[in-house]
Amino acid sequence: MTDTSLPRATFAESDFRAGRVFGRTFSVLSRNLLPFCIVTAIADLPNFVFFTLRQVGAGPVTIVAADPGAAAGKLALGIVMTLVLSALSQAIVVYGAFEDMRGRPVNLLESTKIGLRRVFPVVGVALATSFLAALAGIALVIPAFIVFTMLAVAPPACVVERLGPIKSLKRSARLTKGHRWKVFGLWLATIGSGMIVQGVLVGVAVKIGGLPLGLLTQFLVGALWGAFYAILVVVAYHDLRVAKEGVDTDQIAAVFD
């Protein structure tokens, strides 16, 4: 391992770099591609089953809403399962990514145990972030992006520092201050490239194998992108703390020991 646990003196405020975050994210994912993708695939199952229907027309594959006449109970179940499993997957990835950055093997069972302890606070973070972004979006689209940028690293802060939802949001706002354009760039580049790659691959899959292959491709690409984005958030949180507080990887992750 080369760049995961560097001495305090080598970092400064200016050392939070988007390129470094991307590079480390690719490294962590490449070493743990299967376990992390399994986690994010399971987390995406409720959304895929309850809310995503695909139909093939004359044009490319499109996503349409679930049948409006579906039972309210199924809708509620899908929402709850999506929230809980997404939060759990984030918490699992936080622990697993830190284990990898410490030079340790990723243990999904241990990661799940850690994740289960923090799943409901992370659900609270997700709900609070969405609510604040929605309020900002009522006024203008751009403030919603600002809110998401400010609160981008709230989930790992919640898991690692064992904070409640509100304190996690405040912690994220403090950590991202001074680096929000870089954080926004990371978010935009990841979202944009993911949408483009997914659209191209799903379109090709539908032409080759029809709707079934398109659905499978959509699900697999979504799992891969979800794993990458979840790790990216963890690495960004890690690098922000290293740059702003002068700590190293082992010090940050000592809470798990």
Q: Is 163's pLDDT higher than 90?
A: yes
pLDDT for res 8: 37
Chain segment 32-54, per-residue pLDDT in tens: 999 999 999 999 888 777 766 44
Of how many residues is the chain composed? Answer: 257
Chain segment 202-231, per-residue pLDDT in tens: 899 989 988 878 888 988 999 999 999 999
pLDDT band at 167 (very low <50, low <70, confident <90, very high): very high
Share of the chain above pLDDT 90, in %: 56
Chain segment 227-248, per-residue pLDDT in tens: 999 999 999 999 999 999 988 8
pLDDT for res 91: 94
| Cβ atoms of residues 4 and 103 within 8 Å | yes
Secondary structure of 31-62 as H, E, C letters: HCHHHHHHHHHHHHHHHHHHHCEEECCCCCCE
Chain segment 52-79, per-residue pLDDT in tens: 644 433 334 444 444 555 556 677 777 8
Secondary structure of the chain as H, E, C letters: CCCCCCCHHHCCHHHCCHHHHHHHHHHHHHHCHHHHHHHHHHHHHHHHHHHCEEECCCCCCEEECCCCCCCHHHHHHHHHHHHHHHHHHHHHHHHHHHHHHCCCCCCHHHHHHHHHHHHHHHHHHHHHHHHHHHHHHHHCHHHHHHHHHHCCCHHHHHHHCCCCHHHHHHHHHHHHCCCHHHHHHHHHHHHHHHHHHHHHHHHHHHHHHHHHHHHHHHHHHHHHHHHHHHHHHHHHHHHHHHHHHCCCHHHHHHHHC
pLDDT for res 33: 94
Q: How far from 44 is each of 52, 60, 153, 227, CA to CA, in Å?
A: 11, 22, 20, 11
- Model's pTM, two decimal places? 0.84
pLDDT band at 140 (very low <50, low <70, confident <90, very high): low
* Dihedral (CA of 199, 56, 213, 83) sign: positive
- CB-count exposure of residue 139 (10 Å: 0-12, 13-18, 19+): exposed
**Identity of residue 14:** S
Q: Residue range 123-145: average pLDDT?
A: 82
| Cβ atoms of residues 115 and 95 within 8 Å | yes
State the number of CA atoms in the 13 A half-sphere of 173 facing the CB.
11
**Range in 98-112, 136-150, 197-211 with the lowest mean pLDDT:** 136-150
Q: Residue range 113-117: average pLDDT?
A: 91
